[in-house]
A and B are shown apart, each in its own frame.
Chain A
Amino acid sequence: MCLGIPGKVLEIYEKDGILMGKVLFGNVKREVCLSFTPDVKIGDYVIVHVGFSISIVDEKEAMEIFKTFSEIDEVYK
């Protein structure tokens, strides 16, 4: 139930006074309510739960684990 899927924001617009957008998941495009992430920009990745974005993916934090492990790799080499 608490499933959240990351998708890329392609469009942002208002519909009936609500902040909405088109979000791409793999190759599926869906309309998503963006009102809980008002600072979202086109190109951002958002985590979407039951048709609403709940966070904007922090790309720097997302890469942290790979950075840490590539440094470990360097040490082992």
Chain B
Amino acid sequence: MKFISEYKNREIAKILLEKIEKTLKNKWIIMEICGSQTHTILENGIDTLLPENLILVHGPGCPVCVTPIEIIDIAYNLSLREDVILCSYGDMLRVPGTYGSLLDAKAKGANIKMVYSSIDAIKIAISNPFKKVVFFAIGFETTTPMNAKAIEIAYEKNINNFYVLISQVRVPPAIEAILNSPYCEINGFLAPGHVCTVMGYKEYEPIAEKYKVPIVVTGFEPIDLLEGIYLLVKALEEKRYEVINQYKRSVKREGNLKAKEQIFKIFEIGDMKWRGIGVIPKSGFVLKKEYKRFDAINLINEKYFSKENEICIGAEILQGKKKPFDCPAYKKICTPENPLGALMVSNEGACAAYYKYGK
């Protein structure tokens, strides 16, 4: 496929690896934020090809992994109600909550529909006027404009049986939370290319300057990752603490203005809880006052009891403090078929990536 296959070119990969080796003088620890990038790195063995002095740690950029267990438990309980149809992206269905996953709820008779796009959920609401249709609106900045678009359509067309269960998070406050940890050893970041396609990268510039960490906005194919790593190493060795754009074919400094306008029409910035990390101030998008009637939280009167699995160390893995093989459950009782935590479920979770690519 055009704009994918060219970026898997072996010869260019070799040249980039040589350039990384030649440029690297010191020991550096770098974090790729996005789970899709973690998968590209492991799938192509990039981690095994890099010099020993360059250590890659994996970040929290997996929306499925950071959606709090309390929200999953609400989705589970809502889906079992007879008056509710729950619409979700496929990735969320297998994530374990306190009571089980959404697939477990479906096995118990819950009306759960997997959707490809937020617009599909709107269509389901229109064709089921006597049901409350709840769209599980999760995601990072990349997915937030699409969630906003669905709410805008529901508002304009008066679709009053449409609701959203929201867990939408922002990358820059998470980077700052990681950097503010007293145990943080990370020297530089690869920023997620599609989040920055929507938001641009102006927000990252004060972070790079304040914490003295170069940040390279990076794409998702092997050549993108290698070029991103090369640019990051070069900036680190030259002590340039700035934002560099590797993924220029999609990312502009100001981002996608239309998509940003759509986000801020419906949402405002608010505090958000991240699974495994806790509440990070101003790290999420919440409904503006005039759209609060679409909040699925309005449908529940009770508080559900939520409890995390005690063995899973997903929280530390999400923050780059530990690797999947440090977990006592990894590969033993926790597998993609029987996941204890979200990181073993998602296509972007670090544990699933390690398992799939034989670590």
Contacts and interface: CB of A to CB of B under 8 A. Distances in A.
Interface in A18-77: 18, 25-26, 33, 35-38, 45, 47, 49-52, 54-55, 57-59, 61-62, 64-66, 69, 72
Contacts of A64: 248
A4 B142 contact: yes
A64 B153 CA distance: 39
For chain A, give the interface size range. 20 to 34
Contacts, number: 117
A35 B149 contact: yes
Main secondary structure of the interface of A (DSSP, over half): mixed
B116 A37 contact: no
Contacts of A66: 6, 12
Contacts of B139: 1-2
A50 B348 CA distance: 15
A49 B194 contact: yes
B195 interface: yes
A69 B194 contact: no
Interface of A: 1-6, 8, 18, 25-26, 33, 35-38, 45, 47, 49-52, 54-55, 57-59, 61-62, 64-66, 69, 72
Given A36-B258, A37-B256, A45 B2 contact: yes
Most chain A C-beta atoms within 10 Å of own C-beta, residue among B143, B197, B227, B249: B249
Interface string B242-253: 000000111100
B34 interface: yes
Contacts of B6: 66
B79 interface: no
A69 B143 contact: no
Interface stretch (B60-68, B293-301, B310-318, B329-337): B60-68
Contacts of A47: 194, 197, 250
Given A33-B149, A37-B258, A51-B146, A1 B4 contact: no
Interface of B: 1-4, 6, 11-12, 15, 34-36, 61-64, 89, 91, 116-120, 138-140, 142-143, 145-146, 149, 153, 192-195, 197-198, 220, 223, 227, 248-251, 256, 258-259, 262, 346, 348
Contact of B3 (A1, A6, A33): A6
Nearest to B39: A3
Which 8 interchain pairs have the tightest Cβ spacing? A51-B117, A62-B249, A61-B248, A6-B3, A2-B142, A36-B259, A2-B194, A1-B63
A64 to B, nearest CB: 7
Nearest to A60: B249
B145 A36 contact: yes
B218 to A, nearest CB: 12
Contacts of A49: 142-143, 146, 194
A25 B119 contact: no
B258 A1 contact: no
B34 A2 contact: yes
A39 B262 CA distance: 16
A61 B120 CA distance: 34
A55 B223 contact: no
Contact of A25 (B1, B262, B346): B1
Nearest to A56: B250
